[in-house]
Amino acid sequence: MKRLFYGLMALLLTTACQKQNTFTIEGTIEGAQDSTLYLYNRSLTGIVLLDSAKLGDDGKFSFSHQAPTGPDLYVLNINSQVINLAIDSTETITIKASMPGMGQNYTVEGSDECEKIRQLARRHSLLQQRVFRVEQNTQLMGQLMADSLNAMLRQYKDSIMAEYIFQEPQSAYAYFALSQTLSHLYWPTASIFQMDDSLDGRAYRAVATCWKEYYPESERAQQLYNMVERDITSSRIAAARQQRMQEEERIVVSDLIDLSLPDLRGNMRTLSELRGRVVLLDFHLFAAEESGTRILKLRELYDKYHDRGLEIYQVSIDQDAHLWKQAVEALPWVAVYDPSGESCVRYNVQAVPEFFLIDRNNALQKRSSQMDDVEKEIERLL
């Protein structure tokens, strides 16, 4: 009898522990009958499928899964419609949504974190719509469009930092806010918050510091903290290098330092082949936040002066070849790829973006720091 009693107690304790170590996401999705609802974990290494359910006429669903050891991000998905969620421990979250547009038409109960993420996702969607409207506005061109987009993004980021990130930097929704990206018509999808932006950097440092303190065993906390540490170290190194190189700013050469690099089609393109034209040699990083603005400015120069003899030879030092290929596919000038950065060494480039002007005789004339007005310099050489 005692053996049976202890056996039952052990079974009950095991069942209780298992229940304590799981979270539950349940609810209803109207208008989604016969659709498959998927539950994913947004892990650091990629999206991981955890579970799925075929929805009936009532649209009810329930998922239970092992609780994470620290805050983690999850996604409910039907046909590219997503609901972003954060799970901290053993909680039960209730979702009520409707199709179409599940990602915008839902409510959440049982988690303040998930409610804040719902608000952030909604504001992000509105921002994306505004960006597309500005980019499609034919009355906004060149610098005016770039200024409008930059002002819009800055306003958005400042409000998100004030209302969400700095309110509770240790929260999962603060981490989620930093992970938001934005799609553009004219340049690749990029993170909204950029580590190398001085204001955005404050947000990264605040979240990284708090996550390291509150969740020291979390892989997300460690990754974010390492990113911030690398950025701080890189900034210090760059500042020291800049100080050392101030007296060596000018390149004192009269002849061309030739380059031979592959373009999008794999053809080797040289600077010397452009003899007879005025060349703007541009060193660029498409992954940088200001890339889109610079591309618009270069496009204005190209459209204005190309027929008179201007050519652009643009060297990308991006590490992501796919990003570079997407970014340069529609560019009209010579775009080449140098992930090793060897060309930067040959031209004593300390930081990108950087550019130089080469005259029609293949003689290197000036670098950016020697020009107050690049258009006047181009006019002079043409």
Q: Which helix (H) or strand (E) holds 258?
A: none
Q: What is the dihedral of CA 112, 114, 116, 117, to 10 degrees?
A: 170
Q: At what angle do helices 198-214 and 219-245 cross, to 10 degrees?
A: 140
Lowest mean pLDDT among 60-64, 279-283, 321-325: 321-325
262 cis-preceded (ω within 30 degrees of 0): no
- At 17 the pLDDT is 44
pTM (2 d.p.): 0.59
- At 227 the pLDDT is 87
**Mean pLDDT confidence for 98-112:** 92
CA distance 280 to 310: 7
Give yes or no for residue 247 having a pLDDT over 70: no
- At 8 the pLDDT is 47
Percent of the chain at pLDDT exceeding 70: 89
Lowest mean pLDDT among 115-129, 148-162, 191-205, 228-242: 228-242
Identify the band that residue 46 occupies on the pLDDT scale cut at 50, 70 and 90. confident
Mean pLDDT of the chain: 87
Q: Which residues contact 382 (CB under 8 A, 6 or more apart)?
A: 278, 305, 308, 309, 310
Q: Hey, what are 181's tokens? A: 């990206």
CA distance 367 to 302: 18
Nearest residue to 29 via CA among 7, 2, 1, 62 = 62
Query: Is 85 within 8 Å of 39 (Cβ atoms)?
Result: no
Report the DSSP pairing between strands 354-358 and 278-284.
Answer: antiparallel
CA distance 100 to 32: 8
- At 299 the pLDDT is 94
CA distance 77 to 95: 13
68: left (phi over 0), alpha (psi -120 to 50) or beta: beta
Give strand pairing partners of 74. 41, 85
Length of the chain measured in residues: 382
